[in-house]
Amino acid sequence: MDRYAVVGHPVSHSRSPRIHALFAEATGQILEYGLLPADLDQFESAVSQFRAEGGKGLNVTLPFKERAFALATSASSRAKAAGAANTLHFKNGDIFADNTDGAGLVRDLTCNLSKNLEGTRILLIGAGGAARGVVQPLLAEHPALLVIANRTPGRAHALREALSESGAIPPEWLDRCKACGFDAIPEGDYDLVINATSSSLSHEAPAIPERVYGPRTLAYDMVYGKGITPFLEIALASGAGRVADGLGMLVEQAAESFLLWRGVRPETASVLQRLRKEMA
Ligand code: ATR
Protein backbone atom coordinates (compact mmCIF):
# COMPACT_ATOMS: atom_id res chain seq x y z
CA MET A 1 0.00 0.00 0.00
CA ASP A 2 1.33 3.51 -0.86
CA ARG A 3 2.44 5.32 2.28
CA TYR A 4 2.24 9.01 3.11
CA ALA A 5 2.63 10.98 6.36
CA VAL A 6 2.81 14.42 7.88
CA VAL A 7 6.15 15.32 9.45
CA GLY A 8 6.52 18.04 12.07
CA HIS A 9 7.51 18.93 15.61
CA PRO A 10 5.08 18.61 17.26
CA VAL A 11 2.75 16.68 14.97
CA SER A 12 0.45 14.67 17.25
CA HIS A 13 -2.30 17.33 17.01
CA SER A 14 -2.40 17.19 13.19
CA ARG A 15 -5.74 16.70 11.43
CA SER A 16 -4.02 15.72 8.17
CA PRO A 17 -4.32 11.90 8.67
CA ARG A 18 -8.09 12.28 9.13
CA ILE A 19 -8.42 14.59 6.12
CA HIS A 20 -6.45 12.29 3.82
CA ALA A 21 -8.37 9.24 5.05
CA LEU A 22 -11.61 11.02 4.10
CA PHE A 23 -10.14 11.98 0.69
CA ALA A 24 -9.02 8.39 0.08
CA GLU A 25 -12.46 7.07 1.01
CA ALA A 26 -14.23 9.59 -1.24
CA THR A 27 -12.00 8.95 -4.27
CA GLY A 28 -11.66 5.18 -3.82
CA GLN A 29 -7.87 5.44 -3.50
CA ILE A 30 -6.06 2.87 -1.39
CA LEU A 31 -3.33 4.43 0.71
CA GLU A 32 -1.99 4.79 4.22
CA TYR A 33 -1.39 8.21 5.81
CA GLY A 34 0.23 8.54 9.23
CA LEU A 35 2.11 10.81 11.60
CA LEU A 36 5.90 11.17 11.40
CA PRO A 37 7.22 12.94 14.49
CA ALA A 38 10.81 14.21 14.10
CA ASP A 39 13.15 15.75 16.64
CA LEU A 40 14.45 19.18 15.68
CA ASP A 41 17.87 17.85 14.67
CA GLN A 42 16.48 14.76 12.93
CA PHE A 43 14.21 16.08 10.19
CA GLU A 44 16.50 15.10 7.29
CA SER A 45 17.19 11.60 8.66
CA ALA A 46 13.48 11.01 9.37
CA VAL A 47 12.65 11.93 5.76
CA SER A 48 15.36 9.75 4.28
CA GLN A 49 14.34 6.77 6.42
CA PHE A 50 10.67 7.20 5.43
CA ARG A 51 11.76 7.33 1.78
CA ALA A 52 14.07 4.33 2.11
CA GLU A 53 11.15 2.34 3.52
CA GLY A 54 9.15 3.06 0.39
CA GLY A 55 7.20 6.18 1.48
CA LYS A 56 5.70 8.05 -1.48
CA GLY A 57 5.16 11.51 -0.08
CA LEU A 58 5.10 13.79 2.95
CA ASN A 59 3.26 16.82 4.15
CA VAL A 60 5.58 19.07 6.10
CA THR A 61 4.49 21.32 8.93
CA LEU A 62 6.21 23.64 11.41
CA PRO A 63 9.09 24.13 11.85
CA PHE A 64 10.47 22.18 8.89
CA LYS A 65 9.06 23.84 5.76
CA GLU A 66 12.27 25.67 4.80
CA ARG A 67 14.38 22.57 5.46
CA ALA A 68 12.03 20.48 3.33
CA PHE A 69 12.55 22.90 0.45
CA ALA A 70 16.34 22.75 0.94
CA LEU A 71 16.24 18.95 0.85
CA ALA A 72 14.45 18.74 -2.50
CA THR A 73 16.10 17.88 -5.82
CA SER A 74 13.44 19.78 -7.79
CA ALA A 75 10.65 22.19 -6.87
CA SER A 76 7.49 23.83 -8.21
CA SER A 77 7.53 27.55 -8.95
CA ARG A 78 5.21 28.17 -5.98
CA ALA A 79 7.61 26.35 -3.62
CA LYS A 80 10.49 28.38 -5.06
CA ALA A 81 8.50 31.60 -4.57
CA ALA A 82 7.82 30.72 -0.93
CA GLY A 83 11.30 29.33 -0.29
CA ALA A 84 9.49 26.64 1.67
CA ALA A 85 7.66 23.37 1.04
CA ASN A 86 4.63 21.82 2.72
CA THR A 87 4.55 18.84 0.34
CA LEU A 88 7.25 16.42 -0.79
CA HIS A 89 6.75 13.82 -3.51
CA PHE A 90 9.22 10.95 -3.89
CA LYS A 91 9.23 9.70 -7.46
CA ASN A 92 11.86 7.99 -9.64
CA GLY A 93 14.66 8.86 -7.19
CA ASP A 94 13.62 12.51 -7.20
CA ILE A 95 12.51 14.57 -4.18
CA PHE A 96 10.01 17.06 -5.58
CA ALA A 97 8.98 19.99 -3.36
CA ASP A 98 5.69 21.84 -3.67
CA ASN A 99 3.93 24.45 -1.58
CA THR A 100 0.15 24.21 -1.59
CA ASP A 101 -0.51 26.60 1.33
CA GLY A 102 -1.12 29.69 -0.78
CA ALA A 103 -3.33 27.85 -3.27
CA GLY A 104 -5.23 26.36 -0.31
CA LEU A 105 -5.84 29.79 1.20
CA VAL A 106 -6.94 31.33 -2.10
CA ARG A 107 -9.26 28.42 -2.84
CA ASP A 108 -10.82 28.61 0.62
CA LEU A 109 -11.37 32.36 0.21
CA THR A 110 -12.69 32.28 -3.34
CA CYS A 111 -14.62 28.97 -3.38
CA ASN A 112 -15.72 28.18 0.17
CA LEU A 113 -16.13 31.78 1.34
CA SER A 114 -17.14 33.23 -2.07
CA LYS A 115 -14.74 36.17 -1.74
CA ASN A 116 -13.65 37.52 -5.11
CA LEU A 117 -10.23 39.11 -4.53
CA GLU A 118 -9.88 41.07 -7.76
CA GLY A 119 -9.67 44.83 -7.14
CA THR A 120 -9.89 44.40 -3.35
CA ARG A 121 -7.79 45.81 -0.51
CA ILE A 122 -6.03 43.07 1.46
CA LEU A 123 -4.19 43.44 4.76
CA LEU A 124 -1.83 40.57 5.54
CA ILE A 125 -0.57 40.61 9.12
CA GLY A 126 2.74 38.89 9.84
CA ALA A 127 6.03 38.40 8.05
CA GLY A 128 7.06 34.90 9.11
CA GLY A 129 6.83 31.63 7.23
CA ALA A 130 3.02 31.58 7.14
CA ALA A 131 2.86 35.02 5.49
CA ARG A 132 5.71 34.31 3.10
CA GLY A 133 3.92 31.42 1.40
CA VAL A 134 0.75 33.33 0.59
CA VAL A 135 1.94 36.71 -0.75
CA GLN A 136 2.41 35.61 -4.36
CA PRO A 137 -0.82 33.56 -4.62
CA LEU A 138 -2.78 36.51 -3.17
CA LEU A 139 -1.18 39.00 -5.59
CA ALA A 140 -1.96 36.64 -8.46
CA GLU A 141 -5.66 37.26 -7.74
CA HIS A 142 -5.09 40.92 -8.74
CA PRO A 143 -6.12 42.81 -5.62
CA ALA A 144 -5.92 46.62 -5.84
CA LEU A 145 -3.62 46.62 -2.80
CA LEU A 146 -1.86 44.06 -0.61
CA VAL A 147 -0.34 45.47 2.58
CA ILE A 148 2.10 43.27 4.52
CA ALA A 149 2.06 44.67 8.08
CA ASN A 150 4.25 43.27 10.83
CA ARG A 151 4.84 44.07 14.52
CA THR A 152 8.54 44.39 13.63
CA PRO A 153 8.33 46.61 10.50
CA GLY A 154 11.81 45.64 9.26
CA ARG A 155 10.70 42.05 8.74
CA ALA A 156 7.77 43.15 6.56
CA HIS A 157 10.09 45.25 4.39
CA ALA A 158 12.63 42.41 4.24
CA LEU A 159 9.92 39.96 3.14
CA ARG A 160 8.70 42.24 0.34
CA GLU A 161 12.28 42.80 -0.81
CA ALA A 162 13.17 39.10 -0.70
CA LEU A 163 10.05 38.15 -2.70
CA SER A 164 10.82 40.88 -5.21
CA GLU A 165 14.45 39.77 -5.59
CA SER A 166 13.46 36.13 -6.08
CA GLY A 167 10.98 37.14 -8.78
CA ALA A 168 7.99 35.94 -6.71
CA ILE A 169 6.67 39.51 -6.90
CA PRO A 170 7.23 40.66 -10.50
CA PRO A 171 8.18 44.35 -10.96
CA GLU A 172 4.74 45.22 -12.40
CA TRP A 173 3.06 44.01 -9.17
CA LEU A 174 5.36 45.90 -6.78
CA ASP A 175 3.30 49.10 -6.60
CA ARG A 176 0.28 47.03 -5.48
CA CYS A 177 2.29 45.47 -2.61
CA LYS A 178 3.30 47.58 0.38
CA ALA A 179 5.15 46.72 3.59
CA CYS A 180 4.90 48.53 6.94
CA GLY A 181 4.58 48.36 10.71
CA PHE A 182 1.20 48.40 12.49
CA ASP A 183 1.29 52.18 12.96
CA ALA A 184 1.77 52.88 9.25
CA ILE A 185 -1.02 50.73 7.77
CA PRO A 186 -2.51 52.76 4.88
CA GLU A 187 -5.82 54.52 5.72
CA GLY A 188 -9.22 53.06 4.96
CA ASP A 189 -10.88 49.76 5.70
CA TYR A 190 -9.98 46.47 4.01
CA ASP A 191 -12.00 43.79 2.22
CA LEU A 192 -9.87 41.09 3.75
CA VAL A 193 -7.68 41.07 6.88
CA ILE A 194 -5.61 37.90 7.28
CA ASN A 195 -3.85 36.98 10.51
CA ALA A 196 -0.72 35.09 9.43
CA THR A 197 1.05 35.65 12.76
CA SER A 198 1.41 33.05 15.47
CA SER A 199 -0.40 35.33 17.96
CA SER A 200 -3.48 33.11 18.26
CA LEU A 201 -1.35 30.21 19.48
CA SER A 202 -0.50 32.28 22.58
CA HIS A 203 -4.06 33.61 22.86
CA GLU A 204 -3.06 37.13 21.86
CA ALA A 205 -4.11 39.48 19.06
CA PRO A 206 -1.84 41.62 16.86
CA ALA A 207 -2.22 45.27 17.89
CA ILE A 208 -3.54 46.63 14.59
CA PRO A 209 -5.86 49.67 14.44
CA GLU A 210 -9.65 49.07 14.59
CA ARG A 211 -10.16 51.30 11.56
CA VAL A 212 -9.03 48.50 9.20
CA TYR A 213 -12.41 46.81 9.73
CA GLY A 214 -15.72 47.65 8.10
CA PRO A 215 -18.97 45.88 7.22
CA ARG A 216 -17.46 44.43 4.01
CA THR A 217 -14.40 43.05 5.83
CA LEU A 218 -13.73 39.33 6.04
CA ALA A 219 -11.34 38.74 8.96
CA TYR A 220 -9.48 35.46 8.45
CA ASP A 221 -7.30 33.72 11.03
CA MET A 222 -4.99 31.08 9.54
CA VAL A 223 -5.13 28.99 12.71
CA TYR A 224 -7.92 26.45 13.20
CA GLY A 225 -9.44 24.54 16.08
CA LYS A 226 -9.17 27.51 18.44
CA GLY A 227 -12.71 28.82 18.04
CA ILE A 228 -13.10 32.60 18.00
CA THR A 229 -9.51 33.73 18.60
CA PRO A 230 -8.69 37.13 20.21
CA PHE A 231 -7.93 38.41 16.68
CA LEU A 232 -11.38 37.37 15.40
CA GLU A 233 -13.07 38.64 18.55
CA ILE A 234 -11.55 42.11 18.14
CA ALA A 235 -12.38 42.07 14.42
CA LEU A 236 -16.06 41.37 15.17
CA ALA A 237 -16.18 43.98 17.93
CA SER A 238 -14.59 46.50 15.54
CA GLY A 239 -17.23 46.01 12.87
CA ALA A 240 -15.90 43.27 10.57
CA GLY A 241 -18.79 41.80 8.60
CA ARG A 242 -17.55 38.21 8.60
CA VAL A 243 -14.92 36.04 10.24
CA ALA A 244 -13.37 32.67 9.34
CA ASP A 245 -10.73 30.35 10.77
CA GLY A 246 -8.10 28.41 8.81
CA LEU A 247 -9.77 24.99 8.72
CA GLY A 248 -10.85 25.50 5.11
CA MET A 249 -7.28 26.43 4.15
CA LEU A 250 -6.05 23.25 5.83
CA VAL A 251 -8.49 21.07 3.89
CA GLU A 252 -7.79 22.87 0.59
CA GLN A 253 -3.99 22.67 0.88
CA ALA A 254 -4.39 18.97 1.67
CA ALA A 255 -6.53 18.50 -1.45
CA GLU A 256 -3.79 20.12 -3.57
CA SER A 257 -1.20 17.73 -2.07
CA PHE A 258 -3.53 14.77 -2.70
CA LEU A 259 -3.87 15.87 -6.33
CA LEU A 260 -0.09 16.04 -6.74
CA TRP A 261 0.41 12.56 -5.27
CA ARG A 262 -2.61 10.71 -6.65
CA GLY A 263 -3.61 12.64 -9.79
CA VAL A 264 -7.17 13.10 -8.48
CA ARG A 265 -8.58 16.22 -6.86
CA PRO A 266 -10.93 15.24 -4.02
CA GLU A 267 -14.15 17.12 -3.45
CA THR A 268 -13.57 19.26 -0.34
CA ALA A 269 -16.87 20.80 0.78
CA SER A 270 -18.23 17.64 2.39
CA VAL A 271 -14.87 16.86 4.05
CA LEU A 272 -14.74 20.35 5.51
CA GLN A 273 -18.28 20.04 6.77
CA ARG A 274 -17.59 16.65 8.34
CA LEU A 275 -14.40 17.86 9.98
CA ARG A 276 -16.14 20.88 11.49
CA LYS A 277 -18.76 18.58 12.98
CA GLU A 278 -16.14 16.24 14.40
CA MET A 279 -14.18 19.13 15.92
CA ALA A 280 -17.23 20.86 17.41
P1 ATR B 1 5.54 31.48 11.26
O2 ATR B 1 6.42 30.63 10.45
O3 ATR B 1 4.42 30.74 11.96
O4 ATR B 1 5.02 32.66 10.54
P5 ATR B 1 7.61 33.01 12.58
O6 ATR B 1 8.48 32.98 11.38
O7 ATR B 1 8.21 32.83 13.93
O8 ATR B 1 6.46 31.93 12.50
O9 ATR B 1 6.79 34.37 12.57
C10 ATR B 1 5.86 34.66 13.54
C11 ATR B 1 5.08 35.89 13.09
O12 ATR B 1 4.06 36.16 14.05
C13 ATR B 1 5.93 37.15 13.01
O14 ATR B 1 5.39 37.96 11.99
C15 ATR B 1 5.71 37.76 14.40
O16 ATR B 1 5.96 39.14 14.47
P17 ATR B 1 7.46 39.68 14.74
O18 ATR B 1 8.20 39.52 13.45
O19 ATR B 1 7.29 41.10 15.12
O20 ATR B 1 8.01 38.83 15.84
C21 ATR B 1 4.25 37.49 14.56
N22 ATR B 1 3.73 37.52 15.94
C23 ATR B 1 3.80 36.55 16.88
N24 ATR B 1 3.15 36.90 18.00
C25 ATR B 1 2.61 38.13 17.76
C26 ATR B 1 1.80 39.04 18.51
N27 ATR B 1 1.40 38.77 19.74
N28 ATR B 1 1.44 40.20 17.93
C29 ATR B 1 1.83 40.50 16.67
N30 ATR B 1 2.59 39.69 15.91
C31 ATR B 1 2.98 38.52 16.44
Q: What is the tens place of the pLDDT at every residue in 57-81?
A: 999 998 999 999 999 999 999 999 9
The model's pLDDT over 124-151, given as tens digits with 9 standing for 90+, comes to 999 998 999 999 999 999 999 999 999 9
Give bridge partners of residue 31 from the DSSP assignment: 2
Of the chain, the percentage scoring pLDDT greater than 70 comes to 100
Average of per-residue pLDDT across 103-121: 98
pTM of the prediction? 0.96
265, pLDDT greater than 90 = yes
Which residues fall within 8 angstroms of residue 139, CB to CB, at 6 or more apart?
Answer: 146, 169, 173, 176, 177
In this structure, the residue with its CA closest to atom 21 of ligand 1 is 197
Ligand 1 atom showing the smallest separation from residue 65 Cα: 2
pLDDT bin (cut points 50, 70, 90) of residue 258 is very high
Ligand 1 atom showing the smallest separation from residue 151 Cα: 19
User: Could you tell me if 109 and 84 are in contact, meaning their C-beta atoms sit under 8 angstroms apart?
Assistant: no
Rg (CA), the chain: 18
Ligand 1 pocket check for 157: Cβ under 6 Å: no
Measure 107 CA to ligand 1 centroid, in angstroms: 24
**What is residue 70's predicted lDDT score, i.e. its pLDDT?**
98
Burial of 276 from C-beta contacts in 10 A (0-12 / 13-18 / 19+): middle
Ligand 1 pocket check for 150: Cβ under 6 Å: yes
In this structure, the residue with its CA closest to atom 25 of ligand 1 is 199
The model's pLDDT over 153-174, given as tens digits with 9 standing for 90+, comes to 999 999 999 999 999 999 999 9
In this structure, the residue with its CA closest to atom 11 of ligand 1 is 197
Per the prediction, the chain carries an average pLDDT of 97
Ligand 1 pocket check for 154: Cβ under 6 Å: no
Residue positions annotated with a catalytic role:
65
**What is residue 190's predicted lDDT score, i.e. its pLDDT?**
98
**What is residue 62's predicted lDDT score, i.e. its pLDDT?**
87
Measure 227 CA to ligand 1 centroid, in angstroms: 20
Ligand 1 pocket check for 128: Cβ under 6 Å: yes
The model's pLDDT over 2-44, given as tens digits with 9 standing for 90+, comes to 999 999 999 998 999 999 999 999 999 999 999 999 999 999 9
